[in-house]
Structure 1
Amino acid sequence: MKVLKVVDKIILKIEEFILSYAVIIIALMVVGKAIIRETFGYSLPFADEVSQIAVVIATFMGISYAARKGRHISMSAFYDLAPFKARKVLAIFIPFVTAIVLFVLSYYSWLYVMDVRESGRVTSALQMPAFYLYIFIPIGFLLGGIQFLRNMWVNIRNREDVYLGTDAKDYNDQDTTEELEGTHL
């Protein structure tokens, strides 16, 4: 069990590294391209492509990170109004279904990546194999599916609280006075 926690921490650090540098690259490419175009009247031909790659990486590698932190998109109107037991059941069922969907998407996106690889397509500006751009999609779906299974397991194991992510308790269960005390100067 200790080995799994170490592996989990390593994966978290890798995700944080990848996500933070992808966002930095997006900012540098977009702002840099605009500044260079206005200053020199010339646009970097590779800037759009690098930005696109960074957006794909940030989007799909961010699935797992968002699931871990409980920051994924959710429609929570009924969930928020539900009593504890119903929220607990939903906190087990929803991550399970989501994990299944992500694993299926991972499989089909992997088939697509292999199809792109076999086609020999290259990107227009950088002339790199196009499948490098898409390889992060099945990896992101797979890691996201694993993380949602972990979220489900945390809710099965811990009967006293509802967790939105392995690192995030349900905001409905948090004491609002604790949150408010920390926000005042």
Structure 2
Amino acid sequence: MNFLKVVDKIILKIEEFILSYAVIIIALMVVGKALSRAIFSYTPPFADEVSQIAIVVATFMGISYAARKGRHISMSAFYDLAPFKVRKALMIFIPFVTAVVLFVLTYYSAFYVLDIYESGRVTSALEMPSYFLYIFIPIGFLLGGIQFLRNMWINIKERDAIYLGTDAKDYNDENNQDIQEGTHL
């Protein structure tokens, strides 16, 4: 079990590194392109491609990170109003369904990347193989699916708390505890 925790921490650090630098690259490319156009009336031809690659990387590699931290997009109007047992059941069912969908998307996106690889396409400005851009899509879907399964498992294992992500407890329970603790002062 300790081995899995070490692997999980390594994956977390890699995700944080990739996401951090992808955002920095996006900012540098977009701002640099605008400044270059304004000052020199010249735009580097590679700026759009590098930005596009960084956006794809940040988007799809961010799926797992967002799921881990409980920061993924959710429609929580009914969930927030539901009692504990219903919310607990939903936080087992929803991550399971999400994981299944992400694994299906992993399967199809892997074939898409394989198709791009076999076509031999390259990017226009950098002339880099196009599959380098798209390889992060199935990787992101796969890691996201695994993370949602972990979210489901932690909600099965922990009976007295609800977790939005493996690193994030449900904010509804935290607010209730703060209110209850505040009334006992």
Q: 2: CA distance between counterparts of 1:152 and 1:24?
A: 32
Aligned residue in 2 for 1:107: 107
1:120-173 per-residue CA deviation (whole Å, 9 max, x = no partner) reads: 100000000000000000000000000000000000000000000000000000
Sequence identity percentage: 79
Q: 1: CA distance between counterparts of 2:133 and 2:65?
A: 20
Q: 1: CA distance between counterparts of 2:75 and 2:176?
A: 21
RMSD: 1.1
Q: How far has the Cα of 1:77 moved from its partner?
A: 0.5
Q: 1: CA distance between counterparts of 2:140 and 2:46?
A: 24
The number of residues matched between the two structures is: 179
Matches within 5 A, 1:25-40: 25-40=25-40
Q: 2: CA distance between counterparts of 1:95 and 1:43?
A: 44
Q: How far has the Cα of 1:72 moved from its partner?
A: 0.3
Q: 1: CA distance between counterparts of 2:14 and 2:178?
A: 32
Question: Secondary structure at 2:171's aligned position in 1?
Answer: coil
Query: Is 1:147 matched up with 2:147?
Result: yes
TM value normalised by structure 2: 0.95
Question: Secondary structure at 1:103's aligned position in 2?
Answer: helix
Residue identity in the other structure for 1:173: D
Q: 1: CA distance between counterparts of 2:38 and 2:176?
A: 49
Unaligned runs of 5+ in 1: 180-185
Q: 2: CA distance between counterparts of 1:71 and 1:153?
A: 18
Residue identity in the other structure for 1:159: R
Q: 2: CA distance between counterparts of 1:70 and 1:130?
A: 32
Q: How far has the Cα of 1:176 moved from its partner?
A: 6.1
Q: How far has the Cα of 1:178 moved from its partner?
A: 4.9
Stretch moving more, 35-44 or 46-55 = 35-44
1:88-134 per-residue CA deviation (whole Å, 9 max, x = no partner) reads: 00000000000000000000000000000000100000000000000
| Aligned CA distance change for structure 1 residues 178 and 86 (closer, same or farther; 3 Å) | closer
Q: 1: CA distance between counterparts of 2:177 and 2:161?
A: 18
Question: Secondary structure at 2:164's aligned position in 1?
Answer: strand
Residue identity in the other structure for 2:20: S
Q: 1: CA distance between counterparts of 2:136 and 2:176?
A: 39
TM value normalised by structure 1: 0.95
Q: How far has the Cα of 1:177 moved from its partner?
A: 7.7
Unaligned runs of 5+ in 2: 180-185
The runs of at least 4 consecutive aligned structure 1 residues that moved more than 4 Å come to: 176-179
Q: How far has the Cα of 1:175 moved from its partner?
A: 3.3
Aligned residue in 1 for 2:88: 88
Residue identity in the other structure for 2:106: S
Matches within 5 A, 1:17-166: 17-166=17-166
Aligned residue in 1 for 2:10: 10
Q: 2: CA distance between counterparts of 1:45 and 1:90?
A: 48
Residue identity in the other structure for 1:50: V
